[in-house]
Amino acid sequence: MRMRFVAGLASLVVAAAVALPATADSPAQRPTFVRLSENGPAFLAYDGGPDFDPRSRDWPVSLVFAGHARVGKIKDALRGLGFTRRGHSRFLAYRVDKESARFDGDRGLKTSCDSSGTDVHVRLYAPTATDRFIDPEFGSVVVGTAHLDRADGCSVPPTLFGFSELAERRIGTILGSIGWRVEPDLLDLGNPEPYRRDISDPAHIWLSNGRATLITVP
Amino acid sequence: MRRRYVLLILLAAGGLGAALLLSMGRDTARDVTQALDLRGDPPFEIRLSGPLWRDRTLRSEDGALDVGYVTGDERLDVLATGADEVPVAEVDLRVDGRLQRRIQPPCPQNACPSRLSLVLAPRVVGLGPGHRRVEVIVRDRKALNGQDVDPHVSVAKFRVNVGRRLPLVREGEPVTVVKAAPARMGVTERRLRAGGLRALTAIRRRGVLDGLLGSVPMNVLQAGPLKVNGLPLGASLLLQLRIARRNVRATVPDYVPAPHLPAGYRAQTVRVEATVLRDLLVDVDLNRRRVIAVEPGPQSQTKLWQPSFAPAPAGAGDED
């Protein structure tokens, strides 16, 4: 029961079952608000621009930090593990209680480039006012997206962004190394993005199994 | 000796001060903007509350924004209190610098109230989507008389993000923790994988990729659709070389997006040199049964990437 997820926001209603427009960056799934528990806060399953346009989604949420999570605390830990650079801002829509939707922005943290010119980029989201979501079943919660950047300001092209699934695994391994409990692919957020590429934006590589890794912050 | 001693004390004090600031800065900022909701310098304290204030744009400690999504005009509650009983003579509401409302409280016998509570409704939605600046300006009588106004005016301002109508975010099915193994490869994925590998085998037989791959076998890590503006075109493969190759070079096929062309892309070649080649992205146009791109993957080290006539496809500039 504790692990029950309820997807959706019943109160936001306008035009539902319209198929996604066929555009390069559109996710495979219509972006949906998800809740970690029935009475918990809701967040969109994708980050992107500060709007609800499916075409401006960037990456699927694939990390859920629970326990005693706070954005500041997680970032402090990541900085100590080599995530010392920052990237471009993206936003995640969220909604707490009955209040209107908001978008939390984050530039995220990136590792330095490895010998292949690839870095791991993680963005963390929670209401700025509280630095965390409060979920009745999961405690203090922060959610995140992760992806790899290749030749993004370092190394020789080709430039590639994405492979979220690979980045999610790397982050799980890294945070597991400091004793945080990591449960890979535990939570089905309903945002699978099978591997694919679009010629109109070939640098953006979708790859995610739609199952977020749950990381318990001590 | 004494000067060095004084310098050491000053440095220690400075360090302690900096540490205190760093440890307390965020909470201090929150106290002002979140808990007390006070705005404005003397002579007035301006306390803002209500739905529009709640939906204002916030800024986190690293400068990232947390923006609301206002789709209707909302109430703004204002409480202006004069320090040392300074009376409120006038309150302006401005949006994007334009005056929307001016309130002059009743001042019987020239005695204006030193505490004024207002309910305002800034018209922000009619101005269209985007970031709107809301200002509440409180003046005392001296400011109205055009004297040295600065000490007699307090301003509270904030921003709100006005959005278009709120779209539906659909209600999904309740889901549970995943316990089952991931789904197996579907029919479509198998077809794409087979078609992609056939085209790759054909181009390898012609020797086009010998300089890059030699005869090394590869594993298919991922196979999926290659699309043009969301429409199917072929297959995209993520391959891993079973044995990494070092210091390889070749001229390989590639493309640049070309929405005006029927195929959606323009073929080119790229001169590539890799210090270490571990993985590869291969795009196949299944209509033409042709490999149209061969690119080192995220675990490979490239030394040279020289397109024949156009920059390498890089997608949106600030995409990361």
Answer yes or no: do B69 and A89 touch at CB < 8 A: no
* Choice between A107 and A32, residue whose per-residue pLDDT is larger: A107
Q: How many Å apart are CA B203 and CA B197, to the nearest integer? A: 10
Cis peptide before A158 (omega within 30 of 0): yes
Omega within 30 of 0 (cis) for the link into B43: yes
CB of A186 within 8 A of CB of A66? no
In a domain, A201, yes or no: yes
The per-residue pLDDT for B3 is 54
> Which amino acid appears at position B244 of this protein?
A
pLDDT tens across the length of chain B (320 residues): 455 554 445 444 444 444 433 333 333 233 333 334 555 567 999 999 999 999 999 998 888 899 999 999 999 999 999 988 899 999 999 999 999 999 999 988 888 999 999 999 999 999 999 999 999 999 998 888 776 677 889 999 999 999 887 766 654 444 556 665 666 678 889 999 999 999 999 999 999 999 999 999 999 999 999 999 889 999 999 999 999 999 999 999 999 999 899 889 999 999 999 999 999 999 999 999 999 999 999 999 999 999 997 655 554 444 55
Same domain, B98 and B224: no
Domain count, chain A: 1
Residue A210 makes CB contacts below 8 A (sequence gap 6+) with A29, A60, A188, A189, A190, A191, A192, A193
Q: Which residue of A has its CA nearest to B265?
A: A199
pLDDT in the model for residue A20 = 41
pLDDT for residue B211 = 95
Answer yes or no: do B50 and B141 share one domain.
yes
Mutate to test the interface with A, among B67, B170, B261 (most CBs of A within 10 A): B170
CB contact under 8 A, B166 and A12: yes
Residue B313 lies in a domain: no
Give the Cα separation of A112 and A86 in Å (integer): 10
What is the residue range of A180's domain? Answer: 23-217
Judging contacts by C-beta atoms under 8 Å, the chain A residues touching residue B222 are: 195, 207
A65: in domain: yes
Residues B36 and B151 in one domain: yes
Which of B34, B59, B66, B169 to probe the A interface (max A CBs under 10 A)? B169
Residue B70 inside a domain? The answer is yes
pLDDT range class, residue A38, cuts 50, 70, 90: confident
pLDDT of residue B23: 36
Residue A8: pLDDT over 50: no
Average pLDDT over every residue of A125-150: 96
**Nearest residue in A to B303, CA atom:** A156
**Which residues of chain A make contact with B163, given a CB cutoff of 8 A?**
51-52
* pLDDT for A104: 97
Within-domain flag for A5: no
Q: Closest Cα to residue A81, out of A216, A217, A173, A218?
A: A173
Q: What is the rounded CA–CA span in Å between residue B20 and residue B231? A: 57
- Co-location of B100 and B157 in the same domain: yes
Q: Count CB neighbours of A158 within 10 A.
A: 26
Instruction: Report pLDDT for B68.
Output: 95
pLDDT value, residue A39: 82
pLDDT of residue B147: 65
What is the least distance, in Å, from the CA of A179 to any CA of chain B? Answer: 22
pLDDT digits (tens, 9 = 90+) for A14-34: 233 333 444 556 888 888 888
A131-134 own/partner pairs: CB under 8 Å, 24+ apart: A131/A70, A131/A71, A131/A72, A132/A69, A132/A70, A132/A71, A133/A36, A133/A40, A133/A41, A133/A43, A133/A94, A133/A96, A134/A40, A134/A41
Contact list, B298 vs chain A (CB under 8 Å) = 116, 118, 148, 150, 160, 163, 166
Q: HSE (CB half, 13 Å, CA atoms) of B17?
A: 6
The pLDDT mean for chain A works out to: 88
pLDDT value of residue B61:
80
Q: Pairing relation of β-strands A57-68 and A211-217?
A: parallel
Are B73 and B127 a contacting pair, CB within 8 Å? no
Number of other CB atoms surrounding residue B143 within 10 Å: 20
pLDDT for B134: 98
Query: Residue B240 class from Cβ within 10 Å (0-12 exposed, 13-18 middle, 19+ buried)?
Result: middle
- How many C-beta neighbours within 10 Å does residue B169 have? 27
Nearest CB among A14, A156, A205 relative to B165 is that of A14
Answer yes or no: do B228 and A200 touch at CB < 8 A: yes
Residue B241 CB contacts under 8 Å (≥ 6 apart), including other chains:
B213, B216, B217, B218, B277, B278, B279, B280
Q: Residue A64 and residue A42: Cα distance in Å, rounded? A: 13
Per the structure, the count of domains in chain B is 2
Q: What is the pLDDT of residue A14?
A: 29
Closest chain A residue to B178, measured at CA: A186
pLDDT tens profile A40-51: 888 999 999 998
Contact predicate A123/A145, CB 8 Å: yes
Exposure string (b/e) for B21-48, b if CB count within 10 Å is 16 or more?
A: eeeeeeeeebeebeeebebbeebbbbbb
pLDDT of residue B16: 42
Q: Are strands B218-228 and A193-198 parallel, antiparallel or unpaired?
A: parallel
**Same-domain check for residues B236 and B290:** yes
| Residue A145 pLDDT > 50 | yes
- A17 in a domain, yes or no? no
At residue B29, the pLDDT reads 30
Query: What pLDDT, on a 0 to 100 scale, did the predictor assign at position B110?
Result: 81
C-alpha count within 13 angstroms, C-beta hemisphere, residue B284: 25
Residue B74 is part of which domain span? Answer: 26-162
Q: How confident is the model at residue A99 (pLDDT cuts 50, 70, 90)?
A: confident
